[in-house]
């Protein structure tokens, strides 16, 4: 029996980029804590499969296929949710891409694509969600997904690092503006997690060895290990927490 503070029954969570990976893991955790979840992705087929799998586990699942970086598509998606009576009171801005390339070799469109998908999309989607949360007057939760790169850098991931640093500060800006409406905005900073996005790193013996030596826990994180932080920040347990970033990184950032 979970503590009532962590019970998400009666709440609805939209998780962007949730047909697989970290987003799907967090959506699953929020559903297991009682929330109705809206899965999002750009691949409608993959999204339908992910939604069906969660429904088969007995959860209440909607699906909304849209590109988080497309302002018109985001507006249309929220209008469709409005029409369906689906009121999002928890938003997890998880959708993101990675592009590994030295700064001096980057093309401007490559830079802009990463910043748009990983940072600007959080603004586009959160603006729609927050407008509705404020109008409803019931408060809400915004959880932005940062990264170790919200705090520290490594070579060849400059646009991702800049975007994730921006996510940390955008989270504080949201906290500043939306606290009067009882909307808490926080972030989760995943460490090196075993995901498809990181497959090239996991399969690289040198990088894999570096992660295992550099992380005090001596291992990669598993997507499901973000669930606890997601439930906490989505629940009443965090009603007096805002503008924070919780690193789920096996202790990596805390230790030299």
Interface with ligand GCO by CB under 6 A: which residues? 98, 100, 147-149, 154, 157, 160, 190-192, 197-198, 201
What's the closest the beta carbon of residue 227 comes to ligand GCO, in angstroms?
A: 17
Percentage helix, strand, coil, to 5, in the chain? Answer: 55, 15, 30
Asked whether the beta carbons of 185 and 167 are under 8 A apart, the reply is no
Q: Is 160 a catalytic residue?
A: yes
For residue 142, give the nearest of 72, 88, 83 by alpha carbon.
Answer: 88
Pairing, β 140-145 against β 183-190: parallel
Select 48 or 99, whichever has its Cβ closest to ligand GCO. 99
What's the closest the beta carbon of residue 225 comes to ligand GCO, in angstroms? 13
- Please give the Cα distance from 135 to 129 (Å, whole number): 10
Q: Which is nearer to ligand GCO, 98 or 182 (CB)?
A: 98
Shortest Å distance, C-beta 103 to ligand GCO: 14
66 vs 128: CA distance, rounded Å: 14
**Closest to 52 (Cα-Cα) out of 62, 41, 65, 42:** 62
- Of 136 and 154, CB closest to ligand GCO: 154
Shortest reach from residue 119's CB to ligand GCO, in Å: 13
Closer CB to ligand GCO, residue 94 or residue 235?
94
Cβ closer to ligand GCO: 57 or 204? 204
Partners of residue 188 on adjacent β-strands: 145, 246
- CB of residue 229 vs ligand GCO: minimum separation in angstroms? 13
CA dihedral sign of residues 193, 194, 197, 200 = positive
Residues 160, 192, 240, 247: which is the catalytic one?
160
d(CA 17, CA 92): 9
For residue 12, the cross-strand partners are: 36
Catalytic residue IDs: 160
């Amino acid at each position: 029996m979970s503590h009532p503070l962590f019970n998400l029954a009666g709440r609805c969570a939209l998780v962007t980029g949730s047909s697989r990976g970290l987003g799907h893991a967090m959506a699953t955790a929020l559903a297991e804590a009682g929330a109705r979840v809206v899965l999002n992705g750009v691949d409608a087929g993959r999204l339908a499969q992910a939604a069906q799998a969660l429904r088969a586990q007995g959860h209440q699942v909607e699906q909304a296929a849209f590109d988080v970086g497309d302002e018109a598509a985001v507006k249309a998606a929220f209008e469709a949710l409005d029409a369906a009576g689906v009121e999002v009171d928890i938003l997890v801005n998880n959708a993101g891409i990675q592009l590994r390339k030295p700064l001096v070799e980057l093309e401007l469109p490559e830079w802009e694509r990463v910043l748009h998908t990983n940072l600007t999309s959080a603004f586009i989607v959160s603006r729609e969600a927050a407008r509705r949360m404020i109008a409803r007057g019931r408060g809400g939760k915004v959880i932005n997904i940062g990264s170790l790169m919200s705090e520290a850098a490594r070579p060849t991931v400059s646009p991702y690092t800049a975007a994730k640093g921006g996510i940390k500060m955008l989270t504080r800006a949201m906290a500043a503006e939306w606290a009067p409406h009882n909307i808490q905005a926080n972030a989760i900073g995943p460490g090196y997690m075993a995901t498809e996005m990181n497959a090239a790193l996991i399969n690289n013996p040198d990088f894999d060895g570096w992660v295992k030596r550099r992380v005090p826990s001596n291992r990669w994180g598993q997507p499901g290990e973000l669930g606890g932080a997601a439930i906490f920040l989505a629940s009443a347990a965090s009603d007096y927490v805002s503008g924070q970033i919780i690193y789920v990184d096996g202790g990596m950032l805390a230790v030299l």
